[in-house]
Amino acid sequence: MAAVDPLTAGAVFIATAATDAVYVMFTSAVIARKRVPAANWSAVWYLLSSYAVISYTENPFYVAFAAIGSWAGAYASLTFLHRPPGGPPVGASPE
């Protein structure tokens, strides 16, 4: 069993946290029907997720860091995007 490299574990954590944050932004752009932002966020999403997958497939212990990073990214991005109930989605045009 290969040892866990702290630098790689941290990079996987950051990559998956960023991936989930970008996914939330992608979903928000889709809900707001913003085609170009949605396409841009989608491209960034795949770049980040590819890095994480390539990094942790060498050692299955990195999956734990990916899961923790994923949770942190989704939590942070939803905190940033918090809107009152019934408010417009992020990216919606103000009236």
pLDDT by residue (tens digit) across 62-73?
A: 777 777 877 777
Phi, psi dihedral angles at 57 (to 5 degrees): -70, -20
- Cα–Cα distance, 74 to 66 (Å, whole number): 12
Give the residue-averaged pLDDT of 41-69.
75
What is the value of pTM for the model shown?
Answer: 0.57
Angle among Cα 66, 77, 48 to the nearest 5 degrees reads 45
Residue 94 has pLDDT above 60, yes or no: no
Q: What is the pLDDT of residues 72-84, one digit of tens each?
A: 777 777 777 666 6
Which pLDDT value is given to residue 3? Answer: 82
Do the beta carbons of residue 65 and residue 16 sit within 8 Å? yes
